[in-house]
Amino acid sequence: MLTTTTIDAAVRAALEEDAPWGDITGEVFVPAEARADAQLRAREDGVLSGGEVFARAFTLTDPGIEVAVHLGEGETFAAGQVLATVSGPARGVLRAERIALNFTQRMSGIATLTRAFVDAVDGRTRIADTRKTTPGLRAFEKHAVVCGGGSSHRFGLSDAVMVKDNHLGVLAGAGADVTAALMAARERLGHTTMIEVEVDRLDQIPAVLDGGADIVMLDNFSLEDLRRGVTLIGDRAIVEASGNVTLETVAAIADTGVDVISSGALTHSVRAIDLGLDLVLDRAAGEADGRSDGSAEGRADSSAAGRTDGTTDGSPEGLTDGWSRAAAD
């Protein structure tokens, strides 16, 4: 789903959007020979997604930058944990920083929320995403759902037949019979293509089953009607529940016996995880500041001018926070 080609195309576009004529701050303020080491550090607990994307933002900016990602996709992390390290020409590190964070924070936010949904249903049903994704970033966001333990619904319109309420409305307006239309569609499809039909009332289910639907989506049903729908459908089709699914409601929906719960909230309403790139300048920066011992104290002092959070004690938590807090820029 998320290939290197897809990653590179999106990351290149993001880098071009961010610096179409170059990074003028870096070019006039940062010495060309300066190098930097940085750590991707979690500010809160979460689930990682987008490690490769994070790395490619830097290496596409400058092939001389080295990135080591310390966690695998889908692994959990704790606040304060170092998730990746970056080392290379300072101009490139600073230029790629925001793009790398933007991708990884959003993807990890999706993975973290998905994991919460999956944990809430405790194996009773499958959690799936929808097509309610950011345009151009669907592969990234669906990958993140899988990292969180969820399942990808159809990737796009080319993957499966999904007859929604507006399709049914068109059929009704034309005076067509739903059962006959589904049977005719089946004749035109290959044997590996699934047919899913969305219904919003119990009385729509028999015609859909008679038409041979593989999956019946019960959209915006009450909990009681979900139970009735599950009983009515039995083993004739997979039962999917959707519509206004939240972390607060998903466990009760799972209790009704549905096979799948799909939620657009996994991707369209997610909060980015708070990650930061903590930058520590190397010995050359300490010497430029009048220090030649390359000590931790020298590195802390050289970064203090860049802090915006008021931290001045040189502690690891405060070191260069002002350069690259996730909320900055």
**CA distance linking residue 286 with residue 299, whole number of Å:** 6
Residue 142 designated active-site: no
Q: Domain containing 83 — which CATH number?
A: 3.90.1170.20
Beta strand spans in the chain (E):
35-42, 46-47, 66-69, 76-77, 82-89, 126-128, 161-163, 195-199, 215-219, 238-242, 260-262, 275-281
Mean local confidence (pLDDT), 86-114: 97
Mean local confidence (pLDDT), 28-44: 96
> Model's pTM, two decimal places?
0.84
Domain assignment present for 329: no
Q: Out of 52, 129, 198, 278, which one is annotated catalytic?
A: 198
Same domain, 264 and 167: yes
Residue 198 designated active-site: yes
Burial 73-104 (b: 16+ CB within 10 A, else e): bbeebeeebebbebbbbbbbbbbbbbbbbbbb
Same domain, 289 and 302: yes
Question: What's the pLDDT score for residue 281?
Answer: 59
**CA distance linking residue 279 with residue 290, whole number of Å:** 19
Q: Out of 124, 131, 132, 236, which one is annotated catalytic?
A: 132
The structural domain count of the chain equals 2
Burial 148-158 (b: 16+ CB within 10 A, else e): bbbebbbeeee
pLDDT exceeding 90 applies to what percent of the chain? Answer: 78
Same domain, 249 and 281: no
Q: Out of 12, 164, 186, 227, which one is annotated catalytic?
A: 164
Across the chain, what does the average pLDDT equal? 87
Same domain, 85 and 179: no
CA 245 to centroid of chain Cα atoms: 18
Same domain, 161 and 198: yes
Same domain, 99 and 230: no
Same domain, 181 and 67: no
Amino acid at residue number 222: S
Q: Is residue 282 packed enough to be buried (19+ CB in 10 Å), middle (13-18) or exposed (0-12)?
A: middle
Reported as a single tens digit per residue, the pLDDT across 196-221 is 999 999 999 999 999 999 999 999 99
pLDDT exceeding 70 applies to what percent of the chain? Answer: 85
Same domain, 258 and 279: no
Boundary (domain end) residue, out of 242, 268, 294: 268
Same domain, 28 and 152: no
Q: Which residue range(s) make up the domain with 159?
A: 123-268
Same domain, 252 and 133: yes
Residue 132 designated active-site: yes
pLDDT exceeds 90 at position 295: no
**CA distance linking residue 169 with residue 164, whole number of Å:** 9
Same domain, 200 and 279: no
